[in-house]
């Protein structure tokens, strides 16, 4: 990255994206990763970790609303919530729109949190989300935390980076087993699983491992302009069929009770996002068909 443009090579030299930089707001490194926050003309402010776009000011709501409200509104009693990752605060912002008891947020990199409060205040309400009495920010490796603690949650949201560097372990069988252990009997979960056109194994592996753990699981698709390559897949999982297949009326009722206007999510889109085109169903394979 230079002072005038940014090129992302997540998918190798054969496919990449880039955009012009108006200003570099922050450039540095923690013990875990390089951190850059830049100003652009079209995407607004952009968070880049290890050279990969994580979120942008202009389209983050598309990702965060679908990652959070699908498992939250599918759950009858989403009282105790766990967020894994999400240092920018966007997922926490959306969780706090619900009438919950508490939300534990485990983020490995304190510097990401601090710099996102400073330079990406629209994602975290200028840091106010971290001060909410229901929110408990834990700066620690999530794998270590889940191995040690035995808390159980109604909803688990995994807002991880790509499976490289510090985020690689969050796509392992051992990690999914820890999430399953931490889930209450009526619990629901969501995971981010990359852009399926370039990263077909991410959702397929997640689905297979969740099914092997005895969970109902299926991929759903979203489109986020700043994630290069077309449809992105998220994975939803639940223990019971009642949480796995909520009705449109139930979702509408729960959304009305939320009393907060959302920019992207709506109940009809919630259900429609699970209707995958044939090629994605084929990519996710037999694991997806089992649900």
179-225 tens-digit pLDDT: 999 999 999 999 999 999 998 888 999 999 999 999 999 999 999 99
∠ CA 271-290-185, rounded to 5°: 70
pLDDT for 2 equals 67
How would residue 92 be classed by pLDDT, with cut points 50, 70 and 90?
very high
Mean pLDDT taken over the chain: 92
What is the distance, to the nearest Å, from the Cα of residue 265 to the centroid of all Cα atoms in its chain?
Answer: 14
pLDDT for 10 equals 75
How would residue 17 be classed by pLDDT, with cut points 50, 70 and 90?
confident
pLDDT for 287 equals 63
pLDDT for 204 equals 92
Greater pLDDT, 291 or 253: 253
pLDDT (average), residues 143-170 = 83
* Residue 121 pLDDT exceeds 70: yes
**244-257 pLDDT tens trace:** 999 999 999 999 99
Maximum mean pLDDT: which of 21-30, 158-167, 240-249: 21-30
Of 2-6, 27-31, 83-87, least confident by mean pLDDT is 2-6
pLDDT (average), residues 165-188 = 85
Of 8-17, 96-105, 147-156, least confident by mean pLDDT is 8-17
* Residue 14 pLDDT exceeds 80: no
Of 14-23, 123-132, 265-274, least confident by mean pLDDT is 14-23
Of 71-75, 117-121, 178-182, 257-261, least confident by mean pLDDT is 257-261
* Residue 289 pLDDT exceeds 50: no
* Residue 264 pLDDT exceeds 60: yes
Greater pLDDT, 31 or 165: 31
The CATH-assigned architecture of domain 5-56 is: Roll (2.30)
Is residue 157 within 8 A of residue 189, CB to CB? The reply is yes
Which residue spans of the chain are classified as CATH 3.40.50.150? Answer: 60-290
Pick from 54, 70, 63, 270: which is nearest to 189 by CA? 70
Checking phi first, is residue 127 left (phi over 0); if not, alpha (psi -120 to 50) or beta?
left
Q: What are phi and psi of 83, to 5 degrees?
A: -110, 130
Pick from 241, 169, 233: which is nearest to 202 by CA? 233
Which residue spans of the chain are classified as CATH 2.30.140.10? Answer: 5-56
Instruction: Give pTM, 2 decimals.
Output: 0.94
pLDDT for 55 equals 96
* Residue 260 pLDDT exceeds 60: yes
The residues that are catalytic are 159
What's the CATH superfamily of 60-290? Answer: Vaccinia Virus protein VP39 (3.40.50.150)
């Amino acid at each position: 990255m230079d002072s005038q443009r940014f090129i992302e090579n997540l998918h190798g030299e054969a496919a990449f994206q880039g955009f012009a930089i108006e200003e570099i707001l922050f450039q540095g490194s923690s013990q875990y990763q390089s951190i850059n926050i830049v100003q652009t003309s079209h995407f607004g402010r952009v968070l880049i970790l290890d050279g990969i776009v994580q979120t942008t000011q202009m389209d983050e709501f598309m990702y965060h609303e679908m990652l959070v409200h699908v498992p939250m509104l599918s759950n009858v009693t989403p009282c105790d919530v766990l967020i894994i990752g999400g240092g920018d605060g966007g997922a926490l912002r959306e969780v706090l729109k619900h009438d919950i008891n508490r939300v534990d947020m485990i983020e490995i990199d304190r510097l990401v949190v601090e710099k996102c409060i400073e330079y990406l205040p629209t994602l975290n309400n200028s840091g106010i989300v971290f001060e909410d009495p229901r929110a408990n920010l834990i700066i620690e490796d999530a794998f270590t935390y889940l191995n040690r603690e035995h808390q159980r949650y109604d909803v688990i949201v995994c807002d991880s980076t790509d499976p490289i560097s510090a985020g690689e372990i969050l796509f392992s069988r051992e990690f999914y087993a820890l999430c399953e252990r931490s889930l209450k009997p009526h619990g629901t979960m969501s995971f981010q699983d990359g852009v399926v056109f370039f990263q077909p194994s991410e959702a397929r592996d997640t689905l297979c491992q969740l099914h092997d753990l005895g969970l109902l699981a299926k991929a759903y698709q979203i489109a986020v302009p700043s994630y290069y390559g077309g449809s992105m897949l998220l994975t939803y999982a639940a223990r019971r069929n009642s949480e796995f297949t909520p009705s449109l009326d139930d979702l509408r009722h729960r959304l009305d009770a939320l009393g907060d206007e959302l920019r992207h999510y709506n109940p009809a889109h919630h259900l429609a996002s699970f209707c995958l085109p044939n090629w994605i169903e084929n990519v996710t394979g037999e694991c997806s068909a089992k649900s």
